[in-house]
Structure 1
Amino acid sequence: MSIGNLGYLYYKEYYDKFINEYKTSENISDKEKNEYFIEKNSEIIADSTIYKNSEIIEDIETNLYTHKLYFKTTYPGLLIGTGYSHIIKEKEAFKLGLEFDYTTGLPIINGSSVKGMLRSVFYIKDDSEELKEEKKTYIKNILKELKIENDYLDKMDFEALTYSIFEGKYKDKDDIYKSIPLDKRDIFFGATIDINKTMKEKTDKDKYLLGEDYITPHGTGEEKLKNPNPIKFLKVMPNVVWCFGFDLKDLYNLEDKKTVITKDIKQKMFNNIILDLGIGAKTNVGYGRFDEKYHVK
């Protein structure tokens, strides 16, 4: 059965028969319940081939994004939207959420997630002084690689940099933050799967956008290696190309109109940060990392 919308299949149709028939019947065995979810899992993965999704037109990339960054997922893949509820107490059911675009049904990374990840490496008021210095050094090193002059970097106000990019505020000559006009603020649109570019990276044996995986949490102390409980979940597969979209503006001082960091420098800076940190859940064990050698084809 082909639903056509992966998000609908995962969050709605996935449970329908189970709730309406299996859960209310006393004659359904655990084996039948497990077989039901094994079939549903296979159905979702089967519907996620690049070929079935190749007719989706991604006009949003052309019409909204003034700046684009393309990244290709690496092994083991990408986890996004794990905080969404997708839990039912059946052994073979997928246990973690995944974020889908409502219209296309394809996985999506929303703009707030992209913005939040990028902001995490910039100055945050409540950070310890040690962490603030680490962040300053990190951003300064990126800007050095992008040929920003040392004289400017030595004088840079990193708090003001953070506020201008992420809060839409600038610091005036009296050190008071004021709002940047809406048309001068940076916009973070999020990321969508680029089907056409993904098709160039996939083979017939590697044709799926989605796949299954397991996390196996263990206890502590003497129980650490006893009775592991694998959690099955749905993930975005390796070799899937994402387009991160932005509407970036030159960063300038509104008092004297002097441009200090161009929108193209911002784009390159965000590119380096995403490659360094990855995005989504479980980046510490390899999920959400991107191929540093990939380039737009």
Structure 2
Amino acid sequence: MNIPNLGFLFNKHYYINEKLEFELKDIHKKNRDILKVEFKGRYNAPYGKYCFRLKTIYPGMIIGIGYQHDINNDDKKDNKDKEDKDCYKMGFYFDYTTGMPIIPGSTVKGLLRSAFKHREYILEILKNNKIDFEKEKLEKFKKNLEDNGKENYINYNLSDDDLLVNLLEYEIFEIGTIEGLKDIFYEAYIHEVKGNDGKFLADDYITPHYNNPLKNPIPLKFIKILPDVVFKFSFDLNDGILNSFDKLKLFRQILLDLGIGAKTNVGYGKFDEKYGENDILNLERRMKKNHKKYYKDFRRSI
């Protein structure tokens, strides 16, 4: 894709003058330069064997809002309020090499693991999606822990169902399978932009409120991912207590239910539940038809 490196434009070029001797028109131009970038076809990312696509919905998605994107300007108090309203005051996460927005693999992994704190929720997903665990592998995994002095991972006070979720969490996110294979969580990349003339970034505002009711709140400007942007989530998974495909279905449902990124409690970071569901069905058919090459055909088809 022949597009500028957005990470450079946002994190380096935005405040190119260390003394902040810029005019508001410079900030306006830099804002436009960032937001006008269009997605030029698919990004050739190193996808894992198992993948699915999810499409953002209104109001969009926020990634990396906790990163600092501000420089104090004590020398120009008179213009500071005006600059504050026009500058992007919150951070955003861009891939260092490509400059494209991505969801880090660590973020994906952390979000998925956080769901396992709620065992009843995980059991409900398994039941609703007709996901059966491999009882024999569960017992082998449990025995392997006991034989290797890792009984501390086993909570013998839990019911059978809760113990299943407990051990499944450790297998996926910490220990790996009894064969020593660990699941890998890759960065999620933009795969496609539906509409918006190819644009995938936009302005948005958040208004912090203070303890003093007489103080006028100042809206903070930030960047978000627009709705109708398709992300591709990729993994390298291994059969264990659950087979790899069932893990994929579990991960997809968690992402649909919880969303990802910042401000999910007010609607950001959520996905279209219908979009991409055929990907999973096609993947399942290919898996049953030819276990060895199904994922290659699937990756070429989307």
Q: TM-score, normalised by structure 2?
A: 0.73
Report the structure, 1 or 2, having the larger strand content. 1
RMSD across aligned C-alpha pairs, in angstroms? 2.5
Which residue of 248, 261, 265 maps to 1:284? 265
Structure 1: 4+ residue segments shifted above 2 A: 32-35, 148-156
SS at 1:229 equivalent = coil
Unaligned stretches of 5+ residues in structure 2: 73-82, 139-158, 280-301
SS at 2:187 equivalent = strand
CA distances 1:28-55 after superposition (whole Å, capped 9, x unpaired): xxxx632221221111111x212xx33x
Which residue of 213, 229, 234 maps to 2:204? 213
Match of 1:140 in 2: 123
Kindly indicate whether residue 67 of structure 2 is the aligned counterpart of residue 81 of structure 1: no
* Rounded Cα–Cα distance in structure 2 between residues aligned with 1:180 and 1:33: 61
CA offset at residue 168 of structure 1?
A: 2.1
Q: 1:73 touches 1:238 (CA, 8 Å); kept in 2?
A: yes
Match of 2:289 in 1: none
User: What amino acid maps onto 2:169 in structure 1?
Assistant: T
CA distances 1:247-282 after superposition (whole Å, capped 9, x unpaired): 01111xxxxxxxx31110000000000000000000
CA distances 1:171-190 after superposition (whole Å, capped 9, x unpaired): xxxxxxxx762xx1110012
SS at 1:214 equivalent = strand
C-alpha change, 1:290 and 1:57, in structure 2 (3 Å) is closer
Kindly indicate whether residue 170 of structure 2 is the aligned counterpart of residue 163 of structure 1: yes
Kindly indicate whether residue 222 of structure 2 is the aligned counterpart of residue 227 of structure 1: no
Kindly indicate whether residue 4 of structure 2 is the aligned counterpart of residue 4 of structure 1: yes
* Rounded Cα–Cα distance in structure 2 between residues aligned with 1:19 and 1:229: 24
Kindly indicate whether residue 37 of structure 2 is the aligned counterpart of residue 37 of structure 1: no
Q: 2:87 touches 2:221 (CA, 8 Å); kept in 1?
A: yes
Q: 1:98 touches 1:234 (CA, 8 Å); kept in 2?
A: yes
SS at 2:18 equivalent = helix
CA offset at residue 59 of structure 1?
A: 4.2
CA offset at residue 159 of structure 1?
A: 1.9
Which residue of 251, 255, 258 maps to 1:270? 251
User: What amino acid maps onto 1:233 in structure 2?
Assistant: F
Number of residues paired by the alignment?
242
Report the structure, 1 or 2, having the larger helix content. 2
Matched residues, percent identical?
45
Unaligned stretches of 5+ residues in structure 1: 24-31, 124-134, 171-178, 252-259
* Rounded Cα–Cα distance in structure 2 between residues aligned with 1:57 and 1:241: 11
